[in-house]
Chains A and B, each alone.
Chain A
């Protein structure tokens, strides 16, 4: 079965640079979520989108922004990168509530290293 696709899988950036992470949800899924998992930590919810509108907001820094496009894929834009942004970034997708089960299925993650 098709899964969530994230690109790139690995990314190395220097401090103060910008990065863009992409997420392609499971076909028919209209909702995407972004999570950040630091080394040895649990995932922290950043932001979610349904039908291109921001739906829920977690601990996303002001330096980060995200959007969802008409084909439901999503991009997480990160600016002024800091060493502490080094983490595994997950995208998850689901159906919208009311359309049956809407468990969140995670992509393989993008490992961002800031040097």
Chain B
């Protein structure tokens, strides 16, 4: 079974500062994928970044980077130069990539990030 733990229920950060959102995971799957999604107050789920368990380099997408430490089973999201529009709920999620088929994602409880001016 897969488990995602996000230990920060809420965070307040000053605008323009960098933000690190924590995510640890537990799985027995030999191959897996890790995801981060952003959910603003309007409700939509916005895909941010993906990291495969066998990827050698940390994933980056614009201001987002994923600090993947496989031995520690952590997949922290780093947002550089935070903006007011980054205020949202952030979910870390995992998928089993070791078998065939279209596997569903297992989500963490989320971190509510508030960027202050």
On whether the beta carbons of A42 and B104 are closer than 8 Å, the reply is: no
Interface SS of A by simple majority: strand
- Enumerate A6-64 residues with CB–CB distance to B below 8 Å: 31, 33, 35, 42-50, 55-56, 58
Q: CB-CB < 8 A to A43: which residues of B? A: 45, 91, 105, 107
- Enumerate B29-57 residues with CB–CB distance to A below 8 Å: 35, 37, 43-47, 50
B26 at the A interface (CB under 8 A): no
The tally of residues in B whose CB lies under 8 Å from a CB in A reads 21
B103 at the A interface (CB under 8 A): yes
Known: A56-B104, A101-B50. 12 other contacts (CB 8 A): A35-B104, A43-B105, A44-B107, A48-B101, A48-B102, A50-B101, A56-B102, A56-B103, A88-B43, A97-B102, A103-B47, A104-B47
- Which chain A residues have a beta carbon within 8 Å of chain B's beta carbons? 31, 33, 35, 42-50, 55-56, 58, 88, 90, 92, 94, 96-97, 101, 103-106, 108-109, 111
- Which chain B residues have a beta carbon within 8 Å of chain A's beta carbons? 35, 37, 43-47, 50, 91, 97, 100-110
